[in-house]
Amino acid sequence: MSSSPASFPPPAQPYGRPPLRAVQVLGGAGAGSSAHVRSLTTGLAARGVRVTVCAPVAAEGEYDFTGAGAEFTPDAVSALRAACAGADVVHAHGIRAGMRAALALRHGLGRGRRVPLVVTWHGSVPEPAGALGRLSRLLERHVARAAAVVLGSSSDQVDLARRRGARDARLAAVAVPPAAALPDAGKTRAELGAVERPLIIAVGSLVARRGYSVLLDAARAWRVMEPQPLLVIAGEGPLRPELTRRIEEEGLPVRLLGRRRDADRLLAAADVAVLPSRWEGRSLLAQEALRAGVALVATEVGAVPELVGDAAVLVPYGDSGALAGAVAALLDDPDRRAALAVAGRAQAATWPSEDDTVAQVLAVYDELMDRPIP
């Protein structure tokens, strides 16, 4: 028998209600939020919820929301308004998606019809300076006040939402699916040219907040190690030309791999994973590294400390010496890496499951069905 969501008979709806109609809105194709929406869609559809996912076409191609049991619609303004007009609840993921959903609900509904908006804040970063910072605060304030409920994936996001005026902000149980079984790591290392040298991996878009300039500073220190480790960075973005220039001019042992769909396979083959970001929520890389038993060195920022506990090595953001030293120490200490692998899997076992996430979200939806919308 098929295990797809369509094979599950829809459960009886409470109080004789018809099936709940929920729209999931994605503002981009970010790996963490897209994987979360895919997981959420699978669980909601299996429980009889009629789910529509409104997202970029690229996200549907990569995450197959239709295969998870949803109806997919592109994120054009007209399509989003039409989807929201037929919904019982709209759930946006991220500030950009929250703003677009709020506007669609304001302008796309008939007179007297009100639909509650739920917004999950996946990745608010420290405020930029100047005009950009003022715009960021304005958007956050508008989205926080427009939402019936704001779900934060970390406690600092919940605090920020409350400061921005959210009427109801809660800590969310945000889970993503565990990685599937992976092929032999030796083959992956051979493909990358790291059979007889340590392999370090970073994953994420090539943008300033990821801290890759600091990571390249750290890589300078690794040039004197024997054997010399190889750092691979999976991701794409506007900083590629600058990073490429530095790698070539400074002779750094670094390869930029571009956007990869097999980042989990690369990660499983690595000796150490690095997360040098200026800010992170529930980092997808951190979750996958701990689940895979790969030693992680990460910056002590955002939600990272509460996510990893004692199962990773934490360093201050921007301190390339601390980052370089922590990675070098782990590469020289296989017993420490093995201990972190055990601790990482134990820490991952404490995180919310996909069922926990779906149950919490469904409880919020049911609550909103009984709550008057102001």
**Please, are residues 279 and 220 in contact by the beta-carbon 8 Å criterion?**
no
pLDDT score of 109: 65
CATH no., domain 5-175+353-369: 3.40.50.2000
The arithmetic mean of pLDDT across residues 40-48, rounded, is 94
Q: Which of 158, 58, 31, 44 is nearest to 91 (CA)?
A: 44
Q: Select the more confidently predicted residue: 364 or 108.
A: 364
Spatial distance between the Cα atoms of 30 and 212, rounded to a whole number of angstroms: 18
- The DSSP call for residue 48 is T
Spatial distance between the Cα atoms of 155 and 133, rounded to a whole number of angstroms: 21
DSSP3 helix / strand / coil % (the chain, rounded to 5): 45, 15, 35
Whether residue 271 has pLDDT greater than 60: yes
Whether residue 21 has pLDDT greater than 70: yes
Q: Which of 22-26, 45-49, 50-54, 257-261 has the lowest mean pLDDT?
A: 257-261
Rounded to the nearest integer, the mean pLDDT of the chain is: 88
The arithmetic mean of pLDDT across residues 200-206, rounded, is 95
pLDDT score of 172: 86
Q: Which of 287, 321, 324 is nearest to 304 (CA)?
A: 287
pLDDT score of 15: 42
**Please, are residues 69 and 5 in contact by the beta-carbon 8 Å criterion?**
yes
Spatial distance between the Cα atoms of 277 and 75, rounded to a whole number of angstroms: 29
The arithmetic mean of pLDDT across residues 211-218, rounded, is 97
185-348: same fold as 5-175+353-369? yes
b/e map of 223-234 (b: 16 or more CB within 10 Å)?
eebeeebbbbbb
Strand locations in 37-155 (E): 50-55, 71-74, 89-93, 117-121, 149-152
Give the H/E segment covering residue 244. helix 240-250
Model pTM? 0.81
Whether residue 374 has pLDDT greater than 70: no
Q: Which of 54, 28, 31, 56 is nearest to 41 (CA)?
A: 54
Task: Give every CB contact of residue 70 below 8 A, 6+ residues apart in sequence.
Answer: 24, 41, 45, 51, 52, 53
User: Where do we find the tokens 């601790």?
Assistant: 343
Superfamily of domain 185-348: Glycogen Phosphorylase B; (3.40.50.2000)
**Domain chopping of the chain, boundaries:** 5-175+353-369, 185-348
pLDDT digits (tens, 9 = 90+) for 303-337: 899 899 999 999 999 999 999 999 999 999 999 99
pLDDT score of 359: 93
pLDDT score of 352: 86
